[in-house]
């Protein structure tokens, strides 16, 4: 096969690729920093010709015109995880959430829905006809391999070539467009004093030789900073972040004590800054695997001393965790929280940790509540909970009675709300 000839045969302009979309179809796009910016920006130009087109996404980072209020009825974003613009566009009726656990999201969608087109991003092709899917492998490879889906790749010369299961051959692609644009970057959030204290508590719980799953935000950044005196840590995560780069360069992350993929950091997507993207480019110490692998609780549980750290919006006194919505106002999504929290507890010496500040809105409200507000979505049930950490300490709830849990949770609540929580616990006869 002459791969360069095949490439030219499949190369089209962005408008030509978007013209393949028909009314009543579903178009799956690559997630987060992998999203095809050129194709998505072009979509609004088809608004007069189309109706009832669903874009299936996950953590969409751009604010695209095809989801503006006037586009209602033409385009709908079905998403596994709300991005920054989705919370606003939801008000217009242009966004809807797909309940899921990350490790099975792609397969469930393929098995139970009719998906017509996949839009992904990839590096330029090598001399053997292969592309790298680069920053995202959560469900993207699965969509490429689905025989009933038209595959369109947006080639961006700025994307890093990543290793693992990221390779796709020209023969698997229907159309190619070229669009070299700056990569989507998310600067690290500088942790505040509360986050730093949480980071210290969590770091105390992580033993040398542990394998970690960390997310993004002020709390995970604070945890990463507090881990600098640890030894031989490993990474088995859903998301690669900037904080992991620093720990690797300082010799804290060696991956030498890992049970699986020894010597390698393993994850399913990356989102951060150019520092992260440069680090993972052709880095033999970094391997991408599909989300149904990295986030399978059974696989996670095979890691020795696996520690999963996730954040939440609210936790009630019995250990029910709400991480994706504030009452009926949807905020983010389940993502891999349930996957990794359960998986870590399958591990010998493992821990599942939920970390959050004890208050919100400048101390006006408690995030530790006697009962979750009406309409709240339970991300992690109390049957699955292990540890909850705030800036006031760690509550170990696994195997504990409701009475013991209430006492432990009040102990890590903000002092300004503890008396109120005790009174509410009495009224609810929780102890």
> What pLDDT digit, counting tens, does each position of 169-218 carry?
999 999 999 999 999 999 988 899 999 999 999 999 999 999 999 988 89
Give the span between the Cα atoms of 313 and 319, in whole angstroms: 13
pLDDT at 395: 98
> What pLDDT digit, counting tens, does each position of 259-278 carry?
999 999 999 999 999 999 99
pLDDT at 216: 80
Inform me whether the pLDDT recorded for 116 exceeds 90.
yes
Active-site residue, selected from the candidate residues 238, 246, 287, 391: 238
Average pLDDT over residues 115-127: 98
Q: Token pair of 393, please?
A: 């300490």
More confident residue, 357 or 190: 357
Average pLDDT over residues 226-236: 97
Inform me whether the pLDDT recorded for 292 exceeds 90.
yes
- Annotated catalytic, 238? yes
Q: Token pair of 88, please?
A: 């606003």
Give the span between the Cα atoms of 431 and 428, in whole angstroms: 8
pLDDT at 334: 96
Kindly state the helix (H) or strand (E) to which residue 415 belongs, with its residue range.
Answer: helix 415-427
pLDDT at 93: 93
pLDDT band at residue 131 using 50, 70 and 90 as cut-offs = very high
> Residue 261 in contact with residue 317, Cβ under 8 Å?
no
> Residue 285 in contact with residue 248, Cβ under 8 Å?
yes
Give the span between the Cα atoms of 421 and 15, in whole angstroms: 58
Q: What is the mean pLDDT of the chain?
A: 96
Inform me whether the pLDDT recorded for 226 exceeds 90.
yes
Inform me whether the pLDDT recorded for 1 exceeds 90.
no
Q: Which residues contact 294 (CB under 8 A, 6 or more apart)?
A: 103, 236, 237, 238, 266, 267, 268, 300
pLDDT at 30: 98
Average pLDDT over residues 13-38: 98
pLDDT at 34: 98
pLDDT at 217: 85
* DSSP letters spanning 278-336: HHHTT-TTEEE--HHHHT-HHHHTTSTTEEEEEE-SEEETT--EE-SEETTEE-S--TT
Inform me whether the pLDDT recorded for 38 exceeds 90.
yes
Average pLDDT over residues 289-296: 98
Give the span between the Cα atoms of 248 and 266, in whole angstroms: 13
Which domains, from first to last, does the chain contain?
3-178 (3.40.1080.10), 193-427 (3.40.1080.20)
More confident residue, 1 or 262: 262
> Residue 85 in contact with residue 62, Cβ under 8 Å?
yes
Q: For residue 339, report the phi and psi dihedrals to the nearest 5 degrees.
A: -55, -55
Average pLDDT over residues 112-118: 97
> What pLDDT digit, counting tens, does each position of 73-95 carry?
999 999 999 999 999 999 999 99
Within 13 A of 80's CA, how many CA atoms are on the CB side?
23
Alpha helix stretches (DSSP H) within 74-146: 86-89, 102-112, 140-144
pLDDT at 382: 97
Would you state the torsion angle of the CA atoms of residues 143, 145, 150, 151, taken in this order, to the nearest 10 degrees?
Answer: 80
């Amino acid at each position: 096969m002459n791969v360069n000839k095949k490439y030219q045969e499949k190369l089209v302009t962005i408008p030509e690729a978007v013209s393949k979309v028909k009314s009543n179809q579903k178009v799956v796009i690559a997630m987060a920093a992998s999203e095809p910016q050129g194709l998505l920006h072009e979509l609004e130009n088809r608004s007069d010709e189309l109706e009832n087109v669903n874009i299936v996404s996950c953590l969409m980072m751009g604010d695209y015109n095809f989801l503006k209020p006037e586009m209602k009825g033409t385009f709908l974003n079905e998403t596994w995880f709300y991005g920054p613009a989705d919370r606003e566009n939801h008000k217009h009726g242009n966004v809807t959430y797909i309940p899921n656990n990350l490790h099975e999201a792609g397969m469930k969608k393929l098995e139970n829905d009719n998906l017509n087109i996949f839009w992904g991003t990839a590096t330029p092709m090598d001399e053997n006809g292969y592309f790298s899917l680069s920053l995202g492998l959560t469900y993207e490879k699965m969509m490429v391999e689905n025989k009933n889906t038209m595959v369109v790749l947006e080639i961006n010369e700025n994307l890093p070539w990543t290793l693992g299961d990221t390779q796709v051959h020209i023969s698997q692609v229907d159309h190619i467009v070229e669009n070299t644009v700056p990569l989507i970057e998310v600067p690290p959030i500088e942790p505040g004093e509360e986050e730093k204290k949480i980071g210290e508590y969590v770091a105390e719980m992580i033993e040398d030789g542990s394998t970690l799953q960390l997310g993004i935000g002020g709390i995970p950044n604070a945890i990463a900073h507090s881990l600098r005196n640890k030894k031989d840590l490993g990474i088995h995560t859903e998301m690669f972040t900037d904080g992991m780069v620093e720990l690797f360069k300082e010799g804290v992350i060696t991956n030498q004590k890992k049970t699986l993929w020894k010597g390698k950091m393993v994850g399913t997507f990356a989102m951060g800054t150019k520092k992260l993207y440069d680090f993972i480019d052709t880095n033999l110490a970094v391997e991408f695997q599909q989300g149904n692998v990295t986030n399978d609780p059974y696989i996670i549980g095979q890691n020795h001393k696996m520690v999963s750290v996730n954040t939440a919006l609210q936790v009630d006194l019995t250990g029910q965790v709400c991480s994706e919505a504030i009452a009926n106002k949807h905020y983010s999504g389940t993502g891999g929280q349930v996957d990794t929290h359960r998986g870590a507890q399958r591990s010998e010496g493992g821990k599942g940790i939920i970390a959050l500040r004890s208050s919100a809105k400048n101390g006006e409200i408690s995030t530790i509540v006697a009962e979750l507000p009406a309409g709240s979505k339970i991300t992690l049930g109390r049957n699955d909970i292990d540890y909850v950490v705030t800036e006031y300490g760690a509550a170990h709830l696994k195997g504990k009675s409701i009475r013991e849990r209430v006492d432990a949770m009040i102990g890590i609540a903000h002092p300004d709300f503890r008396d109120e929580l005790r009174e509410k616990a009495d009224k609810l006869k929780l102890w």
